Structure 1
């Protein structure tokens, strides 16, 4: 070491205060100290690359650009060396003392006045280096600038009292940082612990990170490459390593965008759904990077919650980060990312569904709940998501799925509504009375058989300008169809409807003759604002004291033999007619899934059978 004077600098009072904030407040996780130092080293070597294109006389020109790590378990030290641009004396003071510039006092005053979080205010202070003092009692920095006539220097500080600078014997270009770990951080003097930090935070840094002559960051940042440069095998390996995928990805999205924000993304849709396999709600699987450095493995708000099943990486060089890289200051920017990426993912699914419908149907069966959740919760994307829905209908074979776009393409001329029915199963729907009038008229009806479908339909409301209309509801207007059967006269229909209204009393809101029925005698219709059977069942399951007084419209089929016979006996056999009228209502409620208590129904059936047998 040269015989030179040690130049000592004391921290001013506000600098000590700010340094205390950096070490104890800005960083909530000690693990990120190494990420910060590696990121700085990487930036320094990027500057060397740029200089090599513009400058001729560079110290150690042509040397390999790499980051080296050494762990000394006995001395409890971590040494990090880079071959970057290095620093001269003035730059050491400026770069490692950035927090000491004139804005510091103003910053502290602003913090005092607003009572705000330092993490939200300190973005303009580039002090990632000082995260080293979260784990170190003392830090030494050996530095040699890229200029040929530059000095070799040593900077040292305990992060409390100040720092000192002295000239030392000749060093290679770059920076060497030695961390003398404090007692609470000795766990980091361990090869495996450090390797874990590299893998988590710095695995995709563009320069080799070496330890014990072995490269630690072997996986490339594929999201920054052109798609033509990446093989299928590369994608699969990346999915398994970076996304911790245990299956084969079903789809992937690899894209770059410059507007409205700089984005490089590589996102995978997995082949299996862990939530459906019983693992509970999964965490967000798309990590956020800035220039290949991990910012957040599970960023909140980067994507809507319904997209939590996708995995991958989003990298944006436009992110304005605070000092710790742990918080994004501009939430509007996060919303932009959310909007751009979620729309791209939806477009990708739509494209894949059109290209290979059979493959998409199998994928959809595993992940449909996520798309339906999106329609109910993501207003901005619900119309686009509606195109991804798949379902059975009265015009598909059992097990065959179609889309709302398919349905609209098959609508009859003049049809203004998309008809649907929610039920437990296809068989349950097709065995009931609601579907027969639509089949007779060649009108397609969508079968929704998932317990959440009612909420999906309520949230969606319409598709392609066509209102979604439940055929269980009153008010559906159908054209006449000739059934070939004789019907009651207008006077007989009016008289029978009045009779049923009087006999059934508060059990019905209205009795009328309609065009819906072909083979069934009566049907119970729910008001448009009334609860469906599925919602009622769920409410009862959630609250044992739940009470919902069932109010339905009763529609009769004036061509049905039972209805015509009832019309005949209302005066001649009033006792039987009364029993039949009540039984018809209960039968309609049973078909509608609205009869809660069948005890009276059974007693009445017994009475009817006694009378039938004399």
Structure 2
């Protein structure tokens, strides 16, 4: 049996040797393997198998070698010109910020070559590479090589010398210029990427030697091999077995071995070249599977397409809540696809959101998650912007002039209009968006230029006294509902609605039916301070002093004169009010700037005005370092106090000031602190606990005495103001 197997193996070798072609040998190899599968010892069988396989390997290797490109002509050595050598050194060491961009540049060149062939075939059917319009990339860690091949237009010897031997000569640019002269550019101009003729030389950043095999698509063209180590010269020679198109083989430097790893190259392709027009295969696996949806008509894009593309560009798993397909030819040629996600990363104090829109030019990425493309407040927007006519610099990483500023301005205005349109088409969905992303919009109002600020303000939404809790309105809706003759838009900054409705400042507005916006976030105060007005209407806080508005000058129907005022003449009442205000001023001292008789219609004894807001005080404390743990808070800034001389507490403290000055002083201080609390500017209420205990003790003592003796506060011997009922 062993002899039989040996004879079979030898016969297989003989027939494979005499086979007219490698495929025929391989076919017989398979037949031979099947013929020796017999139930004999494993060792014997393996010997036969190995004999056949070893020859098959030799034959396959020989077949592969036969198909490899080989130099057959005399090598012509040429030297780069002195200026070219300098430029080559700049390209190799200084032009590009990252070495990985050589993949982007070579893929872009390959895409251009395929596009040139495709376009040329429209007028010359004889042009053909015989291969699909694809870009093939292979890496070999063992050989430390990176290879890229296209089956495009290819080059003749003259073209190789001209295009590869001269830096800054762009074959793609020359191709477009010829098409333009012929009036036949069509859509090809939008698909050609190369402009400067330096992209190929980026390969010298990572390669110690570069070989270029190329053959023109013109019938009967010969193949050539161009070789250089980037030191200042190159060689070119005729070669055989060269496919139509261009194949670049890079022997990588020792410090660039990562570019021989499949995983590394796949990431780079997906980062920069995922949307080129032609398939990119890496080690026979297609990489660029995502379509550049922004190039399609919006009616051709399905909802599922949007979801998949959004998840790709945003690196997310949710679905977008808003989407925008925006294209324009003026003032710049822009194609964009933008999304608003469901949530953002800054919620609950998580890390700051990174910009989410990448800048492309002709489907090749220029800036990933560009910080300059949109203002920072729009960092929650995700997507892609492709601008075909951006004046890029040579490295295609930066812009040469102010076009990015113009692009930023156009995009910002369009996004604001987009969100405004969404708010009108589906108010409920937009209000849910604003609840999640409102702080970004408020940041935009605070940071945008004055001309843009008004438009961004249209996106704001607030609760108001005209609606129920949770119901929000735009500033335009407020203006449309304003009372006839009302001059200002009124607001109040409070932590929650209950505080607003119980505020002494709100009371008069409520009685007169004047709508007030309720602003709950600390950032809202900075928003209104930056916005200042909407159209002709100023934004005014209801706790502002000396509010000038005709609607507030009209007496309320609920307003009634007290019995004391009826008995006193107007002059006497005014004099007494001024005396009360003067006593408060002297009693409170440096705590207040001034004390005035309030003109507000309110049921509270006093309010403060001209005070720093809680948000401002908090910021000042942080800036001064007073907000650090273990340190006292900022000392209260003196405010203006407005007293309601008609209020019973004011009348009674005025009555007791002579009988018990110390007790009256404590009451006056407590009235002032209560007003600070109502305004939300008393940092630490613990400071008044001792005083409150004293006042309560006196009140309880007076109450006990009144029960035993039948008089009010007899223990303090306080006279009751005439007219007061006890």
The two structures have a TM-score, normalised by structure 1, of 0.90
- Return the alpha-carbon distance in structure 2 between the equivalents of residues 45 and 124 of structure 1: 16
- Return the alpha-carbon distance in structure 2 between the equivalents of residues 243 and 578 of structure 1: 64
SS at match of 2:231: coil
Shift of 1:304: 0.5
Matched with 2:434 is 364
Which of 401, 412, 420 is equivalent to 1:350? 420
Matched with 1:481 is 556
Alignment CA distance shift 1:64-1:513 (3 Å): same
Which of 395, 402, 425 is equivalent to 2:466? 395
SS at match of 1:24: helix
Question: 1:511–1:555: 8 Å Cα contact kept in structure 2?
Answer: yes
Shifted more, 416-425 versus 575-584: the winner is 575-584
Q: Is 2:642 the partner of 1:561?
A: no
- Return the alpha-carbon distance in structure 2 between the equivalents of residues 100 and 391 of structure 1: 58
Q: Is 2:606 the partner of 1:538?
A: no
Shift of 1:284: 1.0
Shifted more, 33-42 versus 17-26: the winner is 17-26
- Return the alpha-carbon distance in structure 2 between the equivalents of residues 232 and 93 of structure 1: 50
Alignment CA distance shift 1:80-1:3 (3 Å): closer
Question: 1:451–1:534: 8 Å Cα contact kept in structure 2?
Answer: yes
Alignment CA distance shift 1:610-1:68 (3 Å): closer
Matched with 1:35 is 104
Shifted more, 3-12 versus 493-502: the winner is 493-502
Alignment CA distance shift 1:570-1:42 (3 Å): same
Matched with 2:154 is 86
- Return the alpha-carbon distance in structure 2 between the equivalents of residues 422 and 137 of structure 1: 67
Alignment CA distance shift 1:496-1:210 (3 Å): same
Shift of 1:427: 1.9
Matched with 1:468 is 539
Matched with 2:576 is 492
Task: Return the structure number with greater relative CO, CA threshold 8 A, min gap 6.
Answer: 1
Alignment CA distance shift 1:428-1:484 (3 Å): closer
SS at match of 2:338: strand
Matched with 1:595 is 682
Q: Is 2:602 the partner of 1:518?
A: yes
Matched with 2:671 is 584
Question: 2:497–2:518: 8 Å Cα contact kept in structure 1?
Answer: yes
Question: 1:550–1:594: 8 Å Cα contact kept in structure 2?
Answer: no
Shift of 1:549: 4.9
Shift of 1:566: 4.1
Question: 1:420–1:468: 8 Å Cα contact kept in structure 2?
Answer: yes
Matched with 2:210 is 139
- What is the 5 A alignment of 1:187-266? 187-266=258-337
Unaligned runs of at least 5 residues, structure 2: 1-69, 170-193, 566-572, 627-631, 703-714, 716-726
Which of 588, 596, 609 is equivalent to 1:504? 588
SS at match of 2:248: strand
Which of 12, 17, 22 is equivalent to 2:86? 17
Q: Indicate the structure with greater helix content.
A: 2
Shift of 1:55: 3.0
Question: 1:433–1:517: 8 Å Cα contact kept in structure 2?
Answer: no
Shift of 1:267: 0.9
Shifted more, 431-440 versus 191-200: the winner is 191-200
Matched with 2:344 is 273
Question: 1:96–1:127: 8 Å Cα contact kept in structure 2?
Answer: no
Shift of 1:497: 2.6
Deviations along 1:221-251, one digit per CA (max 9) or x if unpaired, are: 0011111111000110111123212211111
Alignment CA distance shift 1:436-1:151 (3 Å): same
- Return the alpha-carbon distance in structure 1 between the equivalents of residues 447 and 466 of structure 2: 30
SS at match of 2:289: coil
The two structures have a TM-score, normalised by structure 2, of 0.77
Matched with 1:153 is 224
Question: 1:438–1:516: 8 Å Cα contact kept in structure 2?
Answer: no
Unaligned runs of at least 5 residues, structure 1: 102-122
Shift of 1:185: 1.7
- Return the alpha-carbon distance in structure 2 between the equivalents of residues 442 and 484 of structure 1: 14
Matched with 1:112 is none
Question: 2:559–2:601: 8 Å Cα contact kept in structure 1?
Answer: no
Deviations along 1:431-478, one digit per CA (max 9) or x if unpaired, are: 221111111111111111112111111111111221111112212132
Question: 1:250–1:270: 8 Å Cα contact kept in structure 2?
Answer: yes
Matched with 1:115 is none
Q: Is 2:141 the partner of 1:65?
A: no
- What is the 5 A alignment of 1:398-417? 398-417=469-488
Deviations along 1:231-278, one digit per CA (max 9) or x if unpaired, are: 000110111123212211111111111111111101111111111154
Alignment CA distance shift 1:213-1:323 (3 Å): same
Shift of 1:596: 4.5
- Return the alpha-carbon distance in structure 2 between the equivalents of residues 599 and 313 of structure 1: 55
Question: 2:71–2:225: 8 Å Cα contact kept in structure 1?
Answer: no
- Return the alpha-carbon distance in structure 2 between the equivalents of residues 514 and 589 of structure 1: 16
Question: Larger Rg: 1 or 2?
Answer: 2
Matched with 1:110 is none
SS at match of 1:281: coil
SS at match of 1:99: coil
SS at match of 2:167: helix
Shift of 1:218: 1.1
- What is the 5 A alignment of 1:438-477? 438-477=509-548
Shifted more, 265-274 versus 194-203: the winner is 194-203
Alignment CA distance shift 1:191-1:100 (3 Å): closer
- Return the alpha-carbon distance in structure 2 between the equivalents of residues 502 and 590 of structure 1: 21
SS at match of 1:30: coil
SS at match of 2:109: helix
- Return the alpha-carbon distance in structure 2 between the equivalents of residues 572 and 550 of structure 1: 31
- Return the alpha-carbon distance in structure 2 between the equivalents of residues 276 and 86 of structure 1: 54
Which of 445, 457, 461 is equivalent to 1:375? 445
Deviations along 1:292-315, one digit per CA (max 9) or x if unpaired, are: 111111223111011111111111
SS at match of 1:98: coil
- What is the 5 A alignment of 1:117-128? 125-128=196-199
Question: 1:422–1:447: 8 Å Cα contact kept in structure 2?
Answer: yes
- Return the alpha-carbon distance in structure 1 between the equivalents of residues 446 and 345 of structure 2: 21
Matched with 2:37 is none
- Return the alpha-carbon distance in structure 2 between the equivalents of residues 590 and 132 of structure 1: 70
